[in-house]
Chain A
């Protein structure tokens, strides 16, 4: 199932992209020991907001788990404002993580510690490669 989700990201990007991605990550942290190692001892609070206000998702990493909430959260380490789901996908991983390019194109506006974004993008890309057998 995860493979299908990630492969679908290559062809079409729907508004559910972020939700699907975060859920795929959440499940993978639970069931994949190697992937879980990425968040052992890691605490990070991310807020993703679409520019039209339709999507607001908080991703909170704590105690080796990822919690996803569809509402704003305080004390974020990184807030990511994005034009649309496609822009967010380009930003995070497909076909390559293009954080700098997305910022330059004004597709994504970030506020906070960039290193949190780099880590998140690595985990998303790594998971994509793992489940599609390319890692």
Chain B
């Protein structure tokens, strides 16, 4: 049950004047230049080079984690109240050589520090260490190459490596999950070790050990080893803090070091006794999880729920003030920004700007379905409002029957003041979606966001929610071109489904589209399964497993299906452009019979040059997703249902179903730049619409648009959707309430998620033209936040051209005439 005791839920009396530490730390963060950190790669390589190859994978990996955490430098870079750093740099991009991205910067070792897009500082000495000592060991050992060798460079892998069809993200990571810190907080990591040891002993006492039991023994041993590493790191932090305290002259800093020394001697080894210990325990566990798992969407989850008990106890005892709690939460938020991704330059140009997307979820209902909003929810909202940092990606759950209007409007107010965060999630429908996937009601009510918008049950579901990112437009183009795509030339990629010029009905084209989808998504699943089994062989996750329910009880690592719930996520890029193209084909070729398929194909090949009349017809006279048009409604619903039915028939290597989603990160911009002209009138190499959002400028009335999107069958969107909306401004309290009401209305219809940018076309155009004047401009991309300046040009254009709606009328604001060439169909 929620407990709100704050007199002012806005906490307006707290600001950077009376929270100078947060102001100072934030300023430091924004000044930091990212650096490549090779510390983990160094220790992992050192350990594994010497470790016997025949050592069981669980133990081998756990030992490497232990070795790294024991050797990891205990560093204190600033006056943050929390001890622990993800990397050895103030703002580090760690190298994970076991994944594809780790070695992809090899060609750039001499130039990465000076590259144009998002440079990463790398010293000459560390570049040489990577080149000579680290990378050679991994040349045949990373997950991508191990899979290639094992399966003989299968076609699914070669299709993936063309990049324009689907991305199979397991080549680079699994992550994308929400662990649970409760055991670490309430009992401590030492308890986890004892638990694993007693289970190991019980098994060993049995008369004989078959292979399965032996595997369990190894798993329990691995958990102990990994957890010992976590404790070693915390002890090293404690010792170093004590040493620094001794020589520190500044009394405030000295006191902070002493406090951190005390905190780290207690947590996470033992239970947390105070709010400060609890927050620092979570942070150290988060650092430790990244010692094993790549820093991509490893999400802390419902921190206002997990930490509330410690907050309340301290507040009731008089041991903590609201201001102190805000400082600690702020310090955690800033710590979550201490690392970034390692990305090669071309990938930055196509997909750049994403952070590591650790998602924090607040609000909503508790396991009993009651209002879970508490004082800490509002503290986290206020801290987010003040700091305006890229991470954590904050998500506000909202149950329109249980949560108060005041809460709803407060979230809306934070969105307006930050111009971007948090995102809103619909508790009513999201719980139904999870229930439909077989999740227990209480567990479903405890959901949290993974990374962008995907739903996970903290510490209970292992969802690998971004396993597949499939380009729906590539399916459309394969269907249009009998199994070929303009971007891949004359090569027969997909099955031969016939030249659409000879199709007699729209249903025939829809049949071809479905055939190509089944083929392509089948390839993506095939590859994901190969990767999953390779992870089982060489990259288990004993440390992460310890923070889930199920693995300990079953003696089974997460990667083998140890969690209570398992699934794999497949998200889809270009949904609105695909729907609108289907609409256009149906209307133009088969209803109006205005143009033949052959004419449309010729126009597409010419990028509509010389076909201006046809182009104008396609743009202006064919149905658009987001408008109240039956064909658009029918095609969008048909597509969503078809995709859902397809994935749900497939079970992954962990025994869970595949779940489809519609969120695109920056891929709709990158993939758009690689695609030809489309039947909806979008021109070649223009961006696609993001997430589940209608094509920019296609839907002129917000209410109509929300009705259509909210009316999609929500249970079919099991891995989340990202709806991006934009208001030029929300100037008054009344307008903030209007925003809140719009969200509520959308949720009542059935929408799952919505996020906003509160910016005008002009604001964003100016920010693109003068990036130096907007260094801190935060925007929502498609499920996460980014600094506008860090995004690639295509992504900036996509955000600029997104339809902006007037908050008072709900009507689209006209796009500036002089910039109309930026629009995808101009």
Task: State the A residues within 8 Å of B (CB).
Answer: 37-38, 41-42, 93, 96-101, 103-104, 106, 110-116, 118-119, 121-122, 125-126, 129, 135
CB-nearest residue of chain B to A99 = B107
Instruction: Say yes or no for B138: interface residue by CB 8 A criterion.
Output: yes
Partner of B346 from the list A99, A106, A135 (CB cut-off 8 Å) is A99
B673 to A, closest residue via Cβ: A104
Does B136 count as interface, using CB distance less than 8 angstroms?
Answer: yes
- With A113-B139, A115-B103, A122-B131 known as contacts, the answer to whether A97 contacts B108 (CB < 8 A) is yes
In the bound complex, what is the Cα–Cα distance between A104 and B96 (angstroms)? 24
Q: Which of A96, A113, A121, A122 contacts B148 (CB 8 A)?
A: A113
Inter-chain CA distance A96–B145, complex, in Å, is 24
CA distance A44 to B368 in the complex (A): 61
Q: Is B820 an interface residue (CB 8 A)?
A: no
Minimum CB–CB distance from A28 to chain B (whole Å) comes to 15
Least CB distance, A53 to chain B, in whole angstroms: 17
Q: Nearest-CB distance from B148 to chain A (Å)?
A: 7
Give the shortest distance, in Å, between A63 (CB) and chain B (any CB). 16
B30 within 8 A of A: no
A62 → chain B, closest Cβ, in Å?
15
Shortest C-beta distance, A30 to chain B (Å), equals 19
B138, B140, B344: the one within 8 Å of A100 (CB)? B344
On chain B, the residues within 8 Å of A113 by CB distance are: 139-140, 145, 148-149
- In Å, the complex CA distance between A82 and B57 comes to 39
Taking CB atoms and an 8 Å cut-off, the chain B residues in 104-127 that contact chain A are: 104, 106-111, 115
Q: Which of B691-722 contact A (CB under 8 A)?
A: none
Q: Is the CB of A135 within 8 A of B135?
A: no
A110→B107 CA distance, assembly (Å): 16
Residue on A nearest B164 in the bound complex, by CB: A104
Is the CB–CB distance between B142 and A115 below 8 Å?
yes
Q: For B344, what are the chain A residues with a Cβ–Cβ distance below 8 Å?
A: 99-100
Q: Complex: how many Å from CA A103 to CA B346?
A: 11
**Does A115 contact B110, Cβ atoms closer than 8 Å?**
no
C-alpha gap A43/B289 in the complex (Å): 35
CB closest chain-B residue, reference A92: B107
Given A113-B148, A129-B110, A100:B346 Cβ within 8 A: yes
Could you say which residues of chain A place their CB within 8 Å of the CB of B6? Answer: none
Contact status B142-A125, CB under 8 Å = no
The answer, yes or no, to whether B518 is at the interface (CB within 8 Å) is no
Q: Is the CB of B139 within 8 A of A106?
A: no
- Residue B24 at the A interface, CB < 8 A? no
Size band of the interface chain B makes with A: 35 or more
CB-CB < 8 A to A114: which residues of B? 100, 103-104, 144-145, 161
Do B345 and A96 touch (CB < 8 A)? Answer: yes
> Residue B487 at the A interface, CB < 8 A?
yes
Q: Quick one: given A96-B345, A100-B346, are A116 and B107 in contact (CB under 8 Å)?
A: no
B138/A115 in contact, CB under 8 A: yes
Known: A103-B161, A125-B107. 20 other contacts (CB 8 A): A38-B131, A42-B136, A98-B346, A99-B104, A99-B346, A100-B344, A101-B346, A101-B349, A104-B346, A104-B674, A106-B488, A112-B153, A113-B139, A113-B149, A114-B144, A115-B103, A115-B135, A122-B107, A125-B110, A135-B110
Please, which residue of chain B has its CB at the minimum distance from the CB of A126?
Answer: B110
- Asked whether B163 lies within 8 Å of A121 as measured between CB atoms, the reply is no
Contacts of A111 in B (CB 8 A): 153, 158
CA–CA, A113 and B109, complex, Å = 19
CA distance A114 to B110 in the complex (A): 19
Measured in the bound complex, the distance between the Cα atoms of B431 and A78 in whole Å is 49
A118 and B132 contacting across the interface, CB-CB below 8 Å:
no
Chain A residues with Cβ below 8 Å from B345 are: 96, 98
Residue of A nearest to B144 (CB): A114
9 nearest interchain CB pairs? A97-B107, A121-B107, A118-B106, A100-B346, A115-B139, A101-B346, A122-B106, A122-B107, A115-B103
**One of A37, A98, A121 near B132 (C-beta < 8 A):** A37
Which residue in chain A gives the minimum CB-CB distance to B105?
A118
Contact in complex: B135, A119 (CB < 8 Å): yes
Least Cβ distance of A133 to chain B in Å?
A: 13
Bound Cα distance A7, B351 (Å): 32
Q: Tell me how far the C-beta of B109 lies from the nearest C-beta in chain A, rounded to whole angstroms.
A: 6
Is residue B347 within 8 Å, beta carbon to beta carbon, of the partner chain? yes
Contacts of B135 in A (CB 8 A): 115, 118-119
Report the minimum CB–CB distance from B263 to chain A (whole Å): 42
- A41 proximity list for chain B (CB < 8 A): 136
The distance in angstroms between the C-alpha atoms of A29 and B108, with both chains bound, is 20
Q: Is B610 an interface residue (CB 8 A)?
A: no
- A115 to B140, alpha carbons, bound, how many Å? 8
Task: Indicate with 1 or 0, residue by residue over B339-367, a CB within 8 angstroms of chain A CB atoms.
Answer: 00000111101100000000000000000
Q: A125 to B270, alpha carbons, bound, how many Å?
A: 51
**A129 to chain B: which residues have CB within 8 Å?**
110
Interface flag for B214 (CB, 8 Å): no
* Residues A115 and B346 in contact, CB atoms below 8 Å apart: no
B139 touches A119 (CB 8 A): yes
Which chain B positions have C-beta within 8 A of A106?
487-489
Residues 153-184 of B at the A interface (beta carbon under 8 Å):
153, 158, 161-164
Residue in chain B with minimal CB distance to A110: B161
**Interfacial chain A residues near B489, Cβ < 8 Å:** 106
Shortest Cβ distance from B100 into A: residue = A114
Contacts of B488 in A (CB 8 A): 106
A96-B111 in contact (CB<8A): yes
Contact partners of B110 in chain A: CB under 8 A: 122, 125-126, 129, 135
Q: How far is the CB of A6 from chain B (nearest CB, A)?
A: 14
On chain B, the residues within 8 Å of A37 by CB distance are: 132
Q: Are A104 and B163 in contact (CB under 8 A)?
A: yes
Given A96-B345, A113-B139, A113-B148: A103 and B107 interface contact (C-beta under 8 Å): no
Q: Is the CB of B674 within 8 A of A96?
A: no
Interface centre among A38, A99, A104, A116 (most CB of B within 10 A): A104
The distance from the CB of A107 to the nearest CB of chain B, in whole angstroms, is 11
29 inter-chain pairs at a CB distance below 8 angstroms, sorted by A residue, are: A37-B132, A96-B108, A97-B107, A99-B107, A100-B347, A101-B346, A101-B349, A103-B162, A103-B163, A104-B163, A104-B346, A104-B350, A104-B487, A104-B674, A106-B488, A106-B489, A111-B158, A113-B139, A113-B148, A114-B161, A115-B103, A115-B135, A115-B145, A118-B103, A118-B135, A121-B107, A122-B110, A122-B131, A129-B110
Residue of B nearest to A113 (CB): B145
A90 to B589, CA, bound (A): 42
Q: Which residues of B contact A97 (CB under 8 A)?
A: 107-108
1/0 per residue, CB under 8 A from A, across B192-225: the answer is: 0000000000000000000000000000000000
CB-CB under 8 A from B106, the residues of chain A are: 115, 118-119, 121-122
CB within 8 Å of A: which B65-123 residues: 100, 103-104, 106-111, 115
